[in-house]
Chains A and B, each alone.
Chain A
Amino acid sequence: MPELLQFAFSGLTVGAVYALVALGFTLIYNASDVVNFAQGEFVMLGGMATVFLHLAGVPLPMAAALAILITVGVGLALYAFAIDPARGSSAVTIIIITIGASIFLRGVAQVVFDKRFHALPHWFGSDPIRIGGAAILPQSLVVLFGAGLIVALIFLIIDRTLLGRAILATAANRLAARLVGIPVRKIVALSFALSAAIGAVAGILVTPITLTSYDVGTLLALKGFAAAMLGGMGSAVGAVVGGLLLGLAESFGAGLISSKYKDAIAFLIILGVLFVRPQGLFGKRSVERV
């Protein structure tokens, strides 16, 4: 029994990160139909930039804030120099561009930072808290709490602000949104900035536990995508639920079946969802018109 609880704790912690990556995916996807494979690089940048700024003597909170700003800058640059110029290209072309961007950012990180693993100090020490025979790191609670806060914030923005309305309108129908005077390109740029910020925060929160290096982004992006798909592409609630479920599935799968194929679980889930219920848990089925 205690190990099941242990699996659940670690699954939820990792799942919270997947949920944030999936949420970032969803924001961009809704605003622009772009499937951004560089999403994982935002997480990597957030963690790595904080580490290296801290190493350079910047106090940790300041380093984290700067890292978020840097990542947001990268997100905006990605939109301005890689996505916007390719407006109107096919879905596949855009996917390849974002994959290219992801490889590029990894290459930059390898040169600017280095190829080693790095950690950040735990916020509240690394002495585990015991609950029901299972051990949970205080940092895990930080991750869960932080992720919850971000999710709540994003939902508030979407639900309660004019900006949120504009995002929703853009997601529903880009042409109509443009016609009623919504600056669609600005909204899309904003979605890149916001989703970069979410990714960076996720990276900063989780680095004390999972460590980070220049190449952690790819797998995170794929898992975030798996989570978004599981929840239903375009559904923010689905992204969060999908992320947590994927984290739990991985944790239990690794613990009970085989840790060798832990990373395979995400892809088996993708394939399974696509074949059984392509619209995901919270997505809407689309009807093809002739």
Chain B
Amino acid sequence: MARLLSSRWAIVLGLGLVLAALPFLFPSNYYFRVAAIVNIFALAAVGLNLLMGYAGQVSLGHAGFMGLGAYSVAIGATHFGLHGLAAAGIGAVLSGLVAFLVGRPILRLKGHYLAVATLGFGLLIAMALTNEASWTGGPDGMGVPRLEVFGTRLRGPDTWYYISAGVLLLGVMLALNLIESPTGRAMRAIHDSEIASRVAGIDVASYKLKIFVVSAVYASVAGSLMAFLNGHITPDGTAGFLRSVELVTMVVLGGLGSIIGAIAGAAVLVILPQALTIFHDYEHLMLGLMIMASMILLPRGIVPSLLARLRGGKS
């Protein structure tokens, strides 16, 4: 246990150092921007990994919650004159509430059925964001007013890199706390055997629901950050089906049940397409190839595969 505790702090400390050191390698604002996007997707992926890697439930509609977070900020500021932070908070509560309401029936399902139901749910959110143009600006999206804190406008990609890095760090710490708690044990137990969990006194449905809500809040906060960073959001860019698929791929590619893996998966899936922008027309083709290749060649994920190799090398 002492080892586990220390590893929890080692992860947070190590990640903090990397996030603090990276800017020294960034030659331009463009790098800050890409790194901020990595942080944001990593945050959503860490939350989704709690659901997929620990509670063993898939969600192919998680970008829907990113969309709720993003549009809460945009709509809150534009239509209701809310402060950005308040709007982001409302978005998180709203996402949690929506997850709570749809989660109970959806999470009764298993396997393909769960995948398709969550997928349908995500599409419904994206569709609503596209269709309710008077609120959301329709398919072309809407602008997001710059966040102002203590009279300072937060706009530069470097500023948002540091903010997103801080939020990611906090998100990782809270996720690790959860994993080491009775809730974390219950989640892992459910993943291994639902029947045994129930007999051991765990209300399986209620735990799945709790984790679904937690992971929805992570995605919503990530969506809000994305809105602040970009200053303009679209339904497809935040809540689209492709976004949901990317999130799931990040989690599986990085390694189910590995928090650092989720971050690694996000980094790969955000940076690689950026590096390949020269082949702009080949974007879908490359993304599809990457998804297939990672599922077939690295089914256990990058980080667990690496760890296994390291351990194998030592013994």
B291 contacts A111, C-beta separation under 8 Å = no
Spot the interface stretch: A101-109, A122-130, A141-149, A159-167: A101-109
Residues of chain B with a CB closer than 8 A to A93's CB: 252, 295, 299
Scan A78-122; emit 1 where CB is below 8 A from any B CB, else 0. Answer: 000010011001011101110111111111101100000000000
- Residue B185 at the A interface, CB < 8 A? no
A96 contacts B109, C-beta separation under 8 Å = no
189-243 of chain B: CB within 8 A of chain A: 195, 241-242
B288 contacts A86, C-beta separation under 8 Å = no
- Residue A244 at the B interface, CB < 8 A? no
- Residue A136 at the B interface, CB < 8 A? no
A229 contacts B285, C-beta separation under 8 Å = no
Scan B78-122; emit 1 where CB is below 8 A from any A CB, else 0. Answer: 000000000000000000000000000110010111011101110
- Residue A263 at the B interface, CB < 8 A? yes
B299 contacts A103, C-beta separation under 8 Å = no
Spot the interface stretch: A51-59, A67-75, A200-208, A267-275: A267-275
Q: Give the bracket for the number of chain A residues in contact with chain B.
A: 35 or more
- Residue A264 at the B interface, CB < 8 A? yes
Q: Which of B123, B281, B283, B296 contacts A97 (CB 8 A)?
A: B296
- Residue A35 at the B interface, CB < 8 A? yes
What is the chain A residue whose CB lies nearest that of B194?
Answer: A288
A278 contacts B120, C-beta separation under 8 Å = no
Q: With both chains docked as a complex, state the minimum distance between the C-beta of A197 and any C-beta of chain B, in angstroms.
A: 22
Residues of chain A with a CB closer than 8 A to B286's CB: 107
Residues of chain A with a CB closer than 8 A to B119's CB: 222
A263 contacts B127, C-beta separation under 8 Å = yes
B295 contacts A86, C-beta separation under 8 Å = yes
A111 contacts B282, C-beta separation under 8 Å = yes
Q: With both chains docked as a complex, state the minimum distance between the C-beta of B280 and any C-beta of chain A, in angstroms.
A: 11
Residues of chain A with a CB closer than 8 A to B241's CB: 218
Given contacts A107-B282, A264-B127, 9 further A-B contacts (CB under 8 A): A35-B112, A91-B111, A93-B295, A95-B115, A100-B290, A110-B285, A263-B127, A267-B120, A274-B105
By a beta-carbon cutoff of 8 Å, the part of chain A in contact with chain B is 35, 82, 85-86, 89, 91-93, 95-97, 99-108, 110-111, 218, 222, 225-226, 229, 233, 260-261, 263-264, 266-268, 270-271, 274-275, 278, 290
